[in-house]
Structure 1
Amino acid sequence: MRTEPNVDLTRYVSNLDQNVYTIYNLPEEVIAVIFAYVSRSPAGFRENLAKLLADDELAVNEQSGGMATAYSEKASRFHEKWVVGYGHSSVAEHAVAHIGIEKISRLASAELELANSFNSFTEYSQRYQRPRRGEFYIPAGLDRQPEMKAKYLTLHEKAYDVYEQLMSGLKKFLLKSLSQTEHESDRAFQLRVEKIAFEDARYVLTLSTLTNLGMTGNGRALRDTLVQLLSSRYEECHRLAREMEREISRVIPTLLKYVKPNDYLIQTREHLQLRWDSVQATPYPVTGPRARFTRMPGYREALEMLTARLLLSQCSLSYEKAEEASRHLSLAEHEQIADLALSRLRFFDNPTDELQHLTYQMEMKISEANWHQLLRHNRRTHFSYGQPTTRLGYTIPPHVKEAGLTELFQTFMSEAEQIYQEMEAWNPLLAPYCITNAHHRQVTATASLWELYHLINLRTSPEAQWDIRETFEQLYRELKENHPVLAKYAQRRL
């Protein structure tokens, strides 16, 4: 490898003589430039890096690391021309930022996590950590209506009171009803009981409850995320977007230039709302998670599709030849081929990629607690979803019923729904902050059989939270009934 004189690459690459190496200790946008040069230069990454390091404009030194404070004018001009000017956004995917976000509402965190599927998140879990009194979001708009603000504050104080009462009652019940295992210490048993108790007690907390999360995204995904947040219906999301933009710009400044609300998204939402202004959602309360398939291919059709794709990938047949060969097989032969393709799956394996061609559509009415888990841990599911509401009923955790705490739970839910309705009549954009984790949301989803294998395997395991486990057990039972061989190996963690 030829290198520039007086340039020491060892601080920036993991080796100088192998064909595979890592690159580090450089500003993220500079890394993106180096990777982008490969499409325009016959030289390797290390040679391009050496040239950039030898250029005084790069402004990279031992103190710069991954920050862009001493930022390269050359990298900036490159991104201005190719990413901002010509729209070659794939270049931006090589620049990455890691962001810590604290004290945003659960409502805003859901909007953030749905903004772009290429981001990665780890969020504060209400299943494992106990929230603190007073940690809830107070919309600035409430200052215009002091009486409503007082009701809002009272509701959230009451939510925490009920949360603590549920915690106390559940712990007493669980200590009596659960058995301590043979090798479980007293402390471990106490911790297990507490975890179950605050996992169920949290259902009375509202979407205003504050949360923290860690987020990783590339420049392209982060830019699109900020546009989505700036175009959101919620003021909190606009403020969050500008705070994120300020901090991310310290790492990848040029790639976030010209981030602004998207007129198309905003105007389309407004015009659709006007178009359907007279449509009233009919109350349809359900008492627990409800999930069903709304569309799935016929059983033989699905098997033929899978066989044809396997023939394409394994035998290099044309599409027409693969389809024709698949059509002439018997149902039993198709089932044998599907079994051959899936039977060797192990505990954590992903199925063959050909399952991604089989798509299914689902409808779910699930609690906000359930929904928050689903949106955070799905991998390739596409969602359309309603806004937070009281019209679809709510889920009462089974342990709450068993412990004789149903009346306490339902009394608070009635109070929360009353405040929600008053808020909705005054300001519909602030009312969702009064929705609890127990209230149901309308969700429709499209996923491939590949994704269903991931979700069913993960969410029907004994370790899965009971609410989302019941949701995917319903879907798994329906899938198994209609597509028996295709569903046979989806559940592998029992």
Structure 2
Amino acid sequence: MSTPNELFTAEEQDILSPYVTNTNRSVFVLTNLPEVIKGALFSRYSRSKLGLRTLLLKEFIHKKESQFDQIQGRNYHQNSSKNIELAIESAKNFYDRILDGYGDDSIGELGGAHLALENISILATKTIEDSRIGGSPLEKSTRYVSFSDKINGEYPFYKEPTLLKSAHRKLFLDTCVNLFDTYVFCTEPIRDHVRKCLPRDSNISQNAYERSVRARGFDIIRGLLPAATVTNIGVFGNGRFFETLISKLKVDSLQELREIGQLSFEELNKVIPSFLRRADTKHRHYQDFKSFNFSQKEFVSHIAFSQLGKLKPEQSDLVNLVDYDSEAENKVIAALLYPYSSVSLQQIRENVRNISDSEKFKLIKNAAGLREHRRHKPDRGLELAYYTFDILGDYGMYRDLQRHRILSQARQPLSTRFGYDTPYEIEDSGLGNQYHDAMASAANAFELIFKDFPLEAQYVVPMSYNIRWNININLRALIWLTEIRSTPQGHAGYRRIAQEMFRKVKEVHPALAEYMKFVDLSEYSLGRLNAEQRQENK
């Protein structure tokens, strides 16, 4: 395997060397190639007898139509980014022809790009992060970064155009400013309160302690930030991911998201145009997607109104286990045994059903006992057990938990109708009146705006207000979620949700809950302290 089938001359090796990690082994990595070339190269690769390096030489580097030198920017000091962009546009037909002729939709997953989205609302980021497969988002943290700094004399929140043109303009602006004023007012008193309640231990460095106090302070007051708060998010994704994301954004009901979709298309089209063709407004696939999306929303919303319109929300717990598989333990054991047998899955399941409950518990407990820490991931057989949870928690909790991808989730629109969370430190520090006044003001604004603009009214909802969402997740993914989200350095809000999920599973499947052995049920005050001290020690 270490020796390739193809041999290259000294001249060819010299040409190839900037673009591959070696020319004399069967395993190598591509380097210094733009995404449009890599994607087309792999597309051609899947239908050719030639090796990748030979294809790169014959059909790209030596073919004038590919505009290889101009796109690759080999003489970059002579090629501005604008010239490279023009070269990509000039060669677009060449790359489109390769992708159409030698690939399918999956080829769009072989090239990607890094997209930066700045000064967009935290409401918009959640729609972007809804797209799970093929993309990796990273958003500015409310824990480590202050959102109190003004930009050109104004607090950083999205000025929603529809509301600015409406009779609610002043109400919208005043509500957001009041929430930010309260956020700023609470910042230092909360930190002083944290220091008073949790004085620094002599074994902890001052820097680590202050970073932990700062993080804890931001965690406590982040609930005051309205959904209009602007943030930054970076997204790495493959072409197929971006094509789907952009199409969804461009048909969204909110103007901000439609604008983000169009701007993203324009910028990504400069780098990976051949992967985004179907997201072009004029493309027949986009037109079809737009029509289907509209019809589907109209149909389902009509049914929801006619069937559910008169129902009133019932009282609900933080976490409700709505559905689970009563056969889960048998299915998991059978799935664990399956790779080590030659009989059918049906036979194995029948055999497992005849094992006594005590033996099943012992088998599962012993298998789970092999895990020595949370990074020891259990067997894929655990993916056959599924759970459906309905959760009512504040928007901040949702924002943290939404980032998990190996699950199916759906949320309802933001509102102020399910109450809000009040961290006990707010009351203990004497800031309760200011906090509750800001929340009440936001709720009043929401109701007034909702009458005319129900979707845009979401922008004034602070993060402490509760939102309802559901999660359908397999046991293997749930183990990862509950263990990582219950660690001491986690936010107190989502730690409670992770802990409660574990308890719900333990109630119905005590044996399978043995696998969730690293869920931390303890409570912590300065949860970040040990992590900050470890960082300081480095």
TM bucket (normalised to shorter chain) is: over 0.9
Counterpart of 1:469 in structure 2 is 495
Per-residue Cα deviation, 1:349-399 (whole angstroms, up to 9, x for no partner): 2211111111110010011111111112x1301112111011111111222
Cα distance in 2 between the residues matched to 1:30 and 1:439: 47
CA offset digits 1:195-244 (Å, max 9, x no partner): 21122111011000001011111111111111111222211110001111
Provide structure 1 residue ranges, at least 5 long, that are not aligned to the other structure: none
Cα shift readout 1:397-442 (whole Å, capped 9, x = no counterpart): 2221332322221111110010011110121121000111001111
Tell me what 1:142 maps to.
163
TM-score normalized with structure 2 length = 0.85
Question: 2:533 — aligned with what?
Answer: none
2:305 corresponds in structure 1 to 277
Structure 2 residue aligned with 1:19: 26
Match of 1:362 among 381, 389, 393: 389
Structural RMSD (CA): 2.1
Deviation at 1:76, TM superposition (A): 2.5
Which string of whole-angstrom CA distances, capped at 9 and with x for unpartnered residues, describes residues 441-490 of structure 1? Answer: 11011000011011011011111110000011111112123222211232
Which amino acid is 2:397 matched to?
N
Alpha-carbon spacing, 1:489–1:79, altered in 2? closer, same or farther (3 Å):
same
Distance 1:163 1:396 in 2: 14
Distance change >3 Å, CA 59–CA 6, structure 1 → 2: farther
Q: Is 1:406 aligned to residue 436 of structure 2?
A: no
- Matched with 2:529 is none
Residue 184 of structure 1 aligns with an amino acid whose one-letter code is I
In the TM superposition, what is the alpha-carbon distance from 1:70 to its structure 2 partner?
2.1
Give the letter aligned to residue 120 of structure 2.
I
CA distance in 2, matches of 1:113, 1:451: 18
Greater mean alpha carbon deviation, residues 317-326 or residues 242-251:
317-326
3-state SS of paired residue (1:172): helix
> Is 2:271 aligned against 1:235?
no
Q: 1:36 aligns with which of 28, 43, 46?
A: 43
1:382 equivalent in structure 2: 408
**Would you say the 8 A contact 1:381–1:451 is kept in 2?**
yes
44, 65, 73: which is aligned to 1:63? Answer: 73
Q: Which sits farther off after the overlay, 438-447 or 31-40? A: 31-40
* Residue aligned with 1:451, SS: helix
Post-superposition offset of 1:283: 5.2
Distance 1:329 1:470 in 2: 36
- Mapping 1:247-286, distance limit 5 Å: 247-259=267-279, 260=286, 262-277=290-305, 279-280=309-310, 282=312
Q: Secondary structure of 1:120's match?
A: strand
SS of the residue corresponding to residue 156 of structure 2 reads coil
- 1:232 and 1:282 map into 2 onto residues whose CA distance is 27
Shift in CA distance, 167/16, structure 1 to aligned 2, threshold 3 Å:
same
For 2:459 and 2:517, locate their aligned partners in 1 and report how far apart those are by CA, in whole Å. Answer: 36
Render the CA deviation track for 1:317-353: whole Å, top value 9, x for unaligned: 2122212221221112222332343222232122111
Letter in structure 1 aligned against 2:240: R
- 1:68 deviation in Å? 5.4
Matched residues in 2 for 1:356 and 1:416: separation? 42
Q: CA, structure 1 residues 285+158, in 2 after alignment: closer, same or farther (shift >3 Å)?
A: farther
1:205 maps onto 2:225 in alignment: yes
1:404, 1:352 → 2: CA distance?
A: 50
Distance 1:139 1:34 in 2: 43
Distance 1:402 1:316 in 2: 64
Contact 1:115 1:229 in 2 (8 A): no
Is this contact kept in 2: 1:284–1:392, CA < 8 A? no
Matched position secondary structure for 1:427:
coil
Matched, 1:294 2:314: no
Give the Cα separation in 2 of the matches to 1:160 and 1:243: 28
Q: Which of 118, 126, 137 is the equivalent residue of 1:121?
A: 137
Taking structure 1 as the reference length, the TM-score comes to 0.93
Matches of 2:362 and 2:54, distance apart in 1: 53
The Cα of 1:168 is off from its aligned counterpart by 2.7
Q: Counterparts of 1:296 and 1:242 in 2: how far apart (Å)?
A: 41
Aligned pair in 2 of structure 1 residues 119, 413: CA closer, same or farther (>3 Å)? same
Which sits farther off after the overlay, 465-474 or 26-35? 26-35
Name the amino acid aligned to 2:64: D
1:294 alignment partner, SS class: strand
Indicate the larger mover: 434-443 or 52-61.
52-61
Is 1:186 aligned to 2:202, yes or no? no
Is 2:482–2:519's contact at 8 Å kept on the other side of the alignment? no
Distance 2:402 2:139 in 1: 12
The amino acid across from 1:195 in the alignment is A
- Could you say what secondary structure the match of 1:404 adopts? coil
Q: 1:90 aligns with which of 69, 93, 106?
A: 106
- Indicate conservation of the 8 Å contact 2:118/2:232, yes or no: yes
> Do 2:365 and 2:511's aligned partners in 1 also have CA atoms closer than 8 Å?
yes
Say if 2:469 is the partner of 1:443: yes
1:6 to partner: Cα distance: 5.0
C-alpha separation in 2, matches of 1:492 and 1:160: 38
Distance in 1, matches of 2:86 and 2:357, equals 64
Partners in 2 of 1:491 and 1:168 — Cα distance?
38
Select the residue among 81, 97, 105 that pairs with 2:121: 105
